[in-house]
């Protein structure tokens, strides 16, 4: 008897997931419902306002398709050779084509936190995981999120218990075989707890497409600092959607650095439901060739006295493209909201384009909200100042570009993460200090 009625390529994969993994009934039901919604929505087109500047179907025409990922292939010593060196005080999660790899990960035993494979947490029917799965994404009509909810096989469950802290690396490895991988993260940070995440991608060969979804639950006075670096050597495609629920006095700080990849699209859906919750969102993208980076921010202020800050800066050369779609929503109950949004770009080529649409939707009368967006070129007088001091034109440009994005870097609170980003930016710009 078939598990799903219509036999599309997606429902066939879901059938295989359900028959291969021991899933609780509520997870099965959520997956089937999500697949039904995805097949109603279909992949977004450029007629969708949020996707106006992203021709997703152009990338999908390359032959990417979902498939069931075999757990037998995740322990591969060749992958280990491509992983960065491990730090002594940092736990590491490695997801290979979306599958949690115990052999490549490094999880130190502790009562201060819980880290495990998402699928193993489902099989154990851990209530915190099964109840919160798709809790933040259910009401959003985001087709790619629905697809991930339906077809994610695995990922990671991360919990930091009350009053404790955790430093964590998350590494996504793509084997590049034209499959669409669907990693899923389920993150819970208890009251007065702190989580620090350094995230990066490793692509082993051409033909990678990653559709990541993360749900984050921040309890009272908790804090998450997250740095994401997207810097792959092949024509990778990264679609990353993060959903965050903030309780009172929680702090969410996320910086996304997009340096190399054919398509890098980052969606943030943040909902501040507790007083004095604060969100800090930063982004840097340095593009050339035909690369594309999209940042889409949906910041909802539901409770009073909440604050948010968005600062995104891009440097574009060649025929590269960027888009920034940002919405600040202030509920009628969210008095004393303070929200700021800025997107600035430097265009180094006549063929490069930066598109932006910052928006405010305000239903409270006692708020401070502002937004702005600009595109410009490097000014001749700025170059002249450095050239007159014996610095080459190439290095002068690089230094000016570094200075342009430096305020985003300085917003990173963790000194180790800040140093990591500085080094990657200096390498990308070929700065000789």
DSSP-assigned states of every residue in 232-297: -SS--EEEEEEEEEE-TT-EEEEEEEEEE-SEEEEEEEEEE-STT-EEEEEEEEEE-TT-EEEEEE
Run of H or E including 330: strand 321-330
User: Looking up tokens 């029917």, which residue turns up?
Assistant: 125
Helix then strand count (H, E) for the chain reads: 10, 21
Instruction: Please state whether beta strands 113-117 and 155-160 pair in parallel, antiparallel, or not at all (unpaired).
Output: antiparallel
> Taking a C-beta distance cutoff of 8 angstroms, is the pair 347, 358 a contact?
no
What is the structure's pLDDT at 5?
54
- CA torsion sign for 32, 34, 35, 39 is positive
Residue 67 CA to its chain's centroid (Å):
22
Rounded Cα distance, 288 and 290, in Å: 6
Rounded Cα distance, 404 and 148, in Å: 36
Residues of the chain with pLDDT below 50 are 1-4
- Reference 240, options 189, 199, 299; nearest CA is 199
Task: Map residue 358 onto helix, strand or coil.
Answer: strand
> Taking a C-beta distance cutoff of 8 angstroms, is the pair 174, 38 a contact?
no
Strand ranges (E), 146-236: 155-160, 165-174, 179-181, 184-189, 194-203, 209-218, 223-231
What is the structure's pLDDT at 433?
62
Rounded Cα distance, 413 and 257, in Å: 15
- pTM for the model stands at 0.95
Distance in Å from the first CA to the final CA of the chain: 66
Rounded Cα distance, 407 and 419, in Å: 14
Backbone angles phi, psi at 405, to 5 degrees: -95, -5
- Give the count of alpha carbons within 13 A of 213, CB side only: 24
């Amino acid at each position: 008897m078939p598990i799903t009625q219509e036999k599309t390529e997606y429902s066939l994969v879901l059938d295989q997931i359900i028959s291969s993994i021991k899933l609780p009934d509520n997870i099965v039901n959520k997956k089937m419902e999500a697949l039904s919604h995805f097949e109603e929505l279909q992949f977004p087109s450029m007629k969708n306002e949020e996707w106006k500047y992203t021709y997703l179907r152009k990338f999908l025409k390359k032959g990417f398709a979902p498939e069931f990922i075999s757990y037998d292939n995740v322990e591969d010593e060749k992958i280990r050779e491509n992983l960065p060196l491990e730090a002594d005080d940092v736990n590491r999660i490695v997801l290979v084509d979306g599958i949690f790899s115990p052999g490549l990960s490094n999880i130190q035993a502790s009562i201060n936190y819980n880290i495990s494979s998402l699928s193993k947490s489902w099989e154990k029917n851990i209530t915190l995981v099964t109840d919160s799965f798709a809790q933040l994404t259910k009401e959003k009509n985001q087709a790619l999120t629905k697809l991930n909810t339906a077809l994610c096989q695995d990922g990671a469950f991360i919990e930091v218990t009350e009053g404790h802290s955790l430093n964590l690396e998350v590494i996504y490895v793509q084997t590049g075989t034209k499959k669409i991988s669907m990693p899923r993260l389920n993150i819970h940070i208890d009251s007065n707890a702190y989580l620090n995440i350094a995230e990066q991608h490793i692509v082993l060969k051409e033909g990678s497409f990653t559709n990541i979804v993360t749900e984050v639950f921040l309890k009272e006075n908790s804090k998450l600092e997250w740095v994401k670096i997207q810097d792959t050597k092949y024509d990778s495609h990264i679609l990353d959607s993060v959903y965050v629920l903030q309780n009172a006095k929680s702090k969410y700080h996320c910086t996304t650095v997009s340096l190399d990849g054919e398509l890098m699209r980052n969606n943030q859906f943040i909902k501040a439901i507790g007083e004095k919750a604060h969100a800090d969102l930063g982004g840097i993208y340095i593009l050339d060739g035909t690369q594309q980076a999209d940042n889409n921010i949906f910041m909802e202020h539901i409770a009073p006295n909440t604050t948010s800050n968005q600062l995104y800066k891009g440097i574009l050369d060649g025929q590269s493209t960027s888009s920034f779609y940002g919405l600040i929503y202030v509920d009628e109950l969210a008095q004393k909201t303070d929200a700021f949004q800025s997107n600035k770009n430097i265009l180094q080529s006549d063929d490069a384009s930066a598109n932006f649409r910052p928006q405010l939707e305000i239903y409270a009368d006692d708020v401070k909200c502002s937004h702005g967006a600009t595109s410009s070129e490097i000014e001749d007088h700025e170059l002249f100042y450095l050239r007159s001091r014996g610095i080459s034109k190439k290095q002068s440009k690089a230094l000016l570009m570094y200075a342009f994005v430096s305020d985003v870097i300085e917003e990173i609170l963790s000194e180790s993460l800040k140093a990591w980003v500085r080094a990657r930016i200096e390498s990308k710009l070929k700065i000789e200090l």
